[in-house]
Amino acid sequence: MQRRTVILSGAAALLAAGVLSASAQAETIRIATEGAYPPFNMKNKAGKLTGFDVDMARALCAEMKAKCTIVAQDWDGIIPGLLAKKYDAIVASMSITAERQKKVAFSAPYYKNYLRFVARKSKKLMTDKAGLKGKTIGAQRATVSSQYLEKKYKGAVRIKVYGTQQKAWLDLKAGRVDAVLADIYPGHDWVSKNKRFAFTGEKIDINDQIGIAVRKGDPLQAKISAAIKALRANGTYAKINAKYFPFDIYQ
């Protein structure tokens, strides 16, 4: 009887070791975000990452039953960091563009973006080439906004680019640029807090789909796309959306 007890105890130990081993091998997804793009990703007073992108990243990890670590990475180095395997995915409101698709793979879109000019209300700017001729227009560097300015307004306006969107807003507030071209939802967040400024001109639809970047060939691409679909279906996406916006940004 004593021998049987010893054998069972040994089996239980092996089983426990197996469970611990499986737990240790549970998938851990390392995610990068910019941390300087409110209300999508930013740091709170305690220095912790927060925002729509951060909440989405955590919800996606929960849906995929994966452990999740989120780190901040400067925008200019965010794709190089992914390719260098510093992290596994980028959840940072990144536009899906043909140029970026040469380097990385994208999930299904998790929202759609538009561009819009923001200026001081007193300026009453017209946003066609004639109306902006000779003006200085700001945008975040290496974004669809700066690319749009280069394509549509080069030669008509002075284009000033910034490492972060926040720096562009600061220069607009200080009067060092006449307007900023930005993604519409960060623009909405900023003008709601800076009442002397407003959108000017119509929204610009460039079919800008926002996705989550992973390395090419990574099975994570399909898993994230399926998780986005699940969050839309189970109402989690709507709850996160409502925390930051009074309208649906998925469209």
Q: Give residue 26's pLDDT.
A: 57
* Pair (196, 122) in one structural domain: yes
Length of the chain: 251
In order, the DSSP letters of 135-178 are: -EEEEETTSHHHHHHHHHHBTTBEEEEESSHHHHHHHHHHTSSS
Whether the CB-CB separation of 120 and 82 falls below 8 Å is answered with no
Question: Per-residue pLDDT tens for 195-232?
Answer: 999 999 999 999 999 999 999 999 999 999 999 999 99
* Pair (90, 146) in one structural domain: no
Range of the domain at 131: 113-207
d(CA 47, CA 35): 10
* Pair (163, 223) in one structural domain: no
The one-letter amino acid code at 125 reads: L
* Pair (52, 80) in one structural domain: yes
* Pair (198, 144) in one structural domain: yes
d(CA 104, CA 25): 26
Q: Number of folded domains in the chain? A: 2
Domain assignment of residue 4, yes or no: no
d(CA 129, CA 86): 42
On average, the pLDDT of the chain sits at 92
Question: Per-residue pLDDT tens for 234-250?
Answer: 999 999 999 999 999 99
Q: Give residue 1's pLDDT.
A: 38
Q: Give residue 18's pLDDT.
A: 45
Hey, how many other C-beta atoms are within 10 angstroms of the C-beta on 107?
23
What pTM, to 2 d.p., does this model score?
0.87
Check pLDDT > 50 for residue 170.
Answer: yes
Query: What average pLDDT does this structure show over 86-106?
Result: 98
* Pair (72, 124) in one structural domain: no
Helices (H), the chain: 2-24, 52-63, 78-83, 98-101, 129-132, 144-153, 165-174, 184-193, 220-234, 236-244
Q: How confident is the model at residue 80 (pLDDT cuts 50, 70, 90)?
A: very high
Query: What average pLDDT does this structure show over 116-120?
Result: 98
d(CA 241, CA 129): 35
Domain assignment of residue 199, yes or no: yes
Question: Per-residue pLDDT tens for 4-52?
Answer: 333 334 444 444 444 433 334 557 999 999 999 999 999 999 999 999 9
